[in-house]
Amino acid sequence: MGLLSPVWVGTVAESLTSDHEVAGAMAAFEAALSRVLSEHGLVAGAGLGAVDLDPRGLARGSVAPGNPTIPLVAALRAALPGDRAAAVHHGATSQDVVDSALMIVSSAVLGQVEVHLSGLAARLATLADEHRARACVARTLTQQAMPSTLGFRAATWLSGVLDALDAVRWCLPLPVSLGGPVGTAAAYGSAGPAVVASVAEALQLAAPVVSWHTDRSPVLRLAGTLTSVGNACGRICADLLLMAQTEVGEADDGSGGASSAMAHKSNPTRSVLVAAAAHQLPPLLASVAGSGAAASERPPGAWHAEWQPLRTMLRLAGAAAERTAVIATDVTFAEEALARNLATLVAAAGEDGRWAQEQTAHVGVWVDRVLARHAEVRG
């Protein structure tokens, strides 16, 4: 697994979104539901025993019914005596189990993304402050444009990361799904809202106001947040890739990636992989968004189409945050190259060194504004 996805292989996001974790989250939903129904007096003798789940077997068993809930419920019921087996999955539907499991897994990934983005933000704040006055070339449309500072560039990176961090925190907590066959939670009667709230609390999820079987807003918000994370990290790495070009020579992300054909090369591989992740996320967002107009009380096909793109997005965004945090720690900047390239710009503009100083004298004001925002977010 992951042979063609080196950006997320070995990352925390990969492990948190494995088939084993998804199956475990589905079983956790069923266990919480069984326990809550017993507490509310809606079933007798509820409780799940230990079951050794086989994710591959569940996957194979999902082909005929179209989702993995049916084989999961069968496995859980097979491990219990008749009266207790009948209480498993009581009042729920397949979509509740899959949606809730994906929200559990997504919550875990977003928690790690928040940690990585927080660390990345702290490192960028340090870089912005340390290099606030270090003049460098600002580029537009790939060409040398005007003088700026390395600290200002780091501050703009930081601003994007803080935006992504805000989006992650706004997205949490994600909602549980427990609408039953047609969204009305009919099996629980007037106790429905209380049951949903109790299951949500048990799983550390939010209780929705009403079923979201065909209101895919939670998934769309999640997918948009993951894309924002990729954009923030990808933007940093896009800049580093340009700065790392041999002819530019201003930055080194610490990768040292080898070439199979050219021994003299040392490629900025980690930045390349994060940039690749950032490029993949928007099309996946479009795929998830295409499922948003869901029909009736339970959508045919649209809901099913979300699963794999969403998991891939979780892996890509999680990996981007994790790897960019490492890159920001390892990156080094070449003072000589920064000065040489700036001198080329000054000469092309027909100016002298005072021009660069004049153009960058005020930049610290903007750096301070971003650092103040970081202090507020962190505090």
Among 56, 217, 259, 378, which one carries the catalytic annotation?
259
Q: Which residues constitute the domain of residue 135? A: 12-378
148 is catalytic: no
Identify whether 48 is part of a domain: yes
What pLDDT score does 52 carry? Answer: 84
Residue 109, CA atoms < 13 Å, CB-side half-sphere: 36
CB count, 10 Å around CB of 357?
12
Residue 245, token pair as written in the block: 């070009």
Q: Where are the alpha helices (DSSP H) in the chain?
A: 12-16, 19-39, 55-61, 69-78, 82-87, 94-130, 150-171, 192-202, 217-244, 269-289, 307-330, 335-348, 353-360, 363-378
Residues 6 or more apart in contact with residue 261 via CB below 8 angstroms: none
Whole-model pTM: value is 0.95
Residues β-bridged to residue 139:
144
Mark whether 323 is an active-site residue. no
- Convert the pLDDT of each residue in 281-338 to its tens digit: 999 999 999 988 887 878 888 889 999 999 999 999 999 999 999 999 999 999 999 9
Question: What is residue 273's predicted lDDT score, i.e. its pLDDT?
Answer: 95
Domains identified in the chain, total number: 1
Cα distance between residue 66 and residue 155, in whole Å: 48
User: Rounded mean pLDDT of 208-218?
Assistant: 96
Query: What is the mean predicted confidence (pLDDT) over 17-40?
Result: 95
Evaluate whether residue 4 is within a structural domain. Answer: no
Which CATH number fits the domain that encloses residue 354?
1.20.200.10
Determine, yes or no, domain membership for 7: no
> Residue 156: inside a domain, yes or no?
yes
Residue 263, pLDDT > 90, answer no
The whole-number average pLDDT for the span 184-196 is 97
pLDDT in tens, 233-262: 999 999 999 999 999 999 998 877 655 556
| Residues present in the chain in total | 379
Pick the catalytic residue from 298, 315, 323, 373. 298
